[in-house]
Chains A and B, each alone.
Chain A
């Protein structure tokens, strides 16, 4: 059965391996110099051991410029866990059904349940290995970028750590389920894509901010300072929202804040002084960077859970011959 699973799916598996190999080559070619320049020029600027702040500014600007492309590429790479999972999962049932070979496969002496379970286990393992390798590669590549900019966005959180394997598994399960229902590989792939995007978008935008209750930083505003700080001071923290609150702690709206500008001018003082005098504070809702792994576990868990439900449905349907 293992030979059979490999022989039937080796086309997709080898394609995925090839894509990963090419990607690895590219990321290594780009990443090694990036790591080197980071370790040489940048790391001392952020851990506080640097001496010359001017040089640091310049180096940071240069680094930022040269690694700017990475954001776009890494965002695009979000498609890879889906591709790997769905390419392997969609043909599992759909290809047998559309070519009629299910009648050949399920009249040999291997009972169909055993056939299905062995294949699912083998292909799930393959998907996890491939997407896991992808995640490891990206995590390594992003080390400098994570240190500088954090790892909370689509080009960071979603392609690092555990979640890519979770997404890949989910895509595999979607492909297999869609294939069983639609009985054709290409429609199954398309349907999986739509469902995948919908679920990912929903989870990332509506669920992820709430995995744990956010922390809130409240700060006074210094009088006479040149600008108002934003964020928590730690770039790696995930800022959800920030704004101002009045002395009673009530959060202020945009309109309120706009009026301060006018009022400060009328009073003839600096905006920050004005705000300081009126006990205006600033607040930041955020998740600290230390929560990265907790959130990774939770989100990966969600997608693994969804995948498990879908796969259970697939197995149940095949068991009941509902085809």
Chain B
């Protein structure tokens, strides 16, 4: 897969966001090539919603810059807004509007709106157009909200915890629709999640956010290839300051380390094992502060 580096879907530079005296985001720098499906993971309160709202222009940065396809969403121009689709947490809809009303709302408020496409999709899901949005099930509401966002034919689709309130079947159906749209239109997707399970089959890009800072970001395949678990006899060396060691866990007789060594051969006595996506994310969430890997990731991306 070739990524044209000039075609970045998202680019942030030193992004800070402050509410009163609290810093919700601090010094966030990341790039996302277009056509990717990116997962934004982190615990509750990490700043995921804030970051996503900055990407779609609902918030303005306190410091730093954010660009979507080279333009700042903060300007809120109709052109910028029409290239971005957003699905907020809990997929809010006008509950007293019928589904048909919602489609009309979309058509009235957008430059480009394919209501035929939305209608066909909702039809195939069995969602009646005359039902009030408030009377739909949670899964159906999520599908309607997604259909609204996709009917704009956005180039970037941003979703805030889209799967959170959905049962497993609704989750699967939602992802089917979403991935179908990626296959059809090549839309770039960013969605946040605090559940790591379903990510690997859907995402090819990862951003780990913790306490308002980016702990890790990059192409998933590259990240998994760059990291590994090393198991060896228990060592008493102080590993916290070794740059490539992300996390070290000690048992009675052996030590397990999560390292980022780009696949270099391990030191003698250490057994290498591949690391799973979940272990990788958890390792960075447990030890965020020591490693400024956010920037390192960008450099390896640029070099690739």
Task: Please determine if A and B sit in direct contact within the complex, based on CB atoms under 8 angstroms apart.
Answer: yes
B109 touches A111 (CB 8 A): no
Kindly identify, within residues 73 to 117 of chain A, every residue whose CB is under 8 Å from any CB belonging to chain B: 99-101, 103-113
Closest A residue by C-beta to B76: A111
Contacts of A320 in B (CB 8 A): 60
Contact B81–A107 (Cβ < 8 Å): yes
Q: List residues 145-160 of chain B with CB under 8 A from any CB of chain A.
A: 145, 148, 152
Which of A4, A103, A107, A320 has its CB near the most chain B CB atoms (within 10 A)?
Answer: A107
Residue of A nearest to B75 (CB): A111
Does the CB pair B106–A108 fall under 8 Å? Answer: yes
Asked if B303 lies at the interface with its beta carbon under 8 angstroms from chain A, I say no
Q: How large is the interface on A (under 10, 10 to 19, 20 to 34, 35 or more residues)?
A: 20 to 34
Does the CB pair B105–A109 fall under 8 Å?
A: no
CB–CB B92/A103 < 8 A = yes
User: Which residues, 74 to 116 on B, are CB-close (under 8 Å) to A?
Assistant: 76-78, 81-82, 84-86, 88-90, 92-97, 101, 104-106, 108-112
A99 and B95: CB pair below 8 A? yes
A109–B92 touching, CB < 8 Å: no
B57 at the interface (CB under 8 A from A): yes
- B59 in contact (CB, < 8 A): yes
Q: How many Å lie between the Cα of A3 and that of B105 in the bound state? A: 8
Q: Which residue of A lies closest to B112 (CB)?
A: A109
State the CA gap A323–B89 with chains docked (Å). Answer: 17
Q: A7-B101, A103-B92, A112-B76 are in contact. Are A1 and B108 (CB under 8 A)?
A: yes
For the residues of B in contact with A, the DSSP-based class is loop
CB <8 Å contact, B76 and A3: no
Also in contact, A109 and B109, with CB within 8 A (given A7-B97, A99-B92, A101-B93): yes
Contacting residue for B92 out of A7, A11, A104, A111, CB 8 A = A104
* Bitwise interface map of A from 13 to 44 toward B, beta carbon under 8 Å scored 1, else 0: 00000000000000000000000000000000
Task: Tell me whether A321 is interfacial, beta carbon within 8 Å.
Answer: yes
In the complex, the answer to whether B58 meets A107 with C-beta atoms within 8 Å is yes
Hey, which chain B residues are within 8 Å of A103, CB to CB? 53, 58, 86, 88, 92
Given A8-B94, A100-B88, A107-B81 in contact, is the A321-B109 Cβ separation under 8 Å? Answer: no
* Cα–Cα distance between A11 and B110 once the two chains are bound (Å): 25
Q: Is B206 in contact with chain A by the CB < 8 A criterion?
A: no
* A-to-B contact residues, CB < 8 Å: 1, 3-4, 7-8, 11, 99-101, 103-113, 320-321
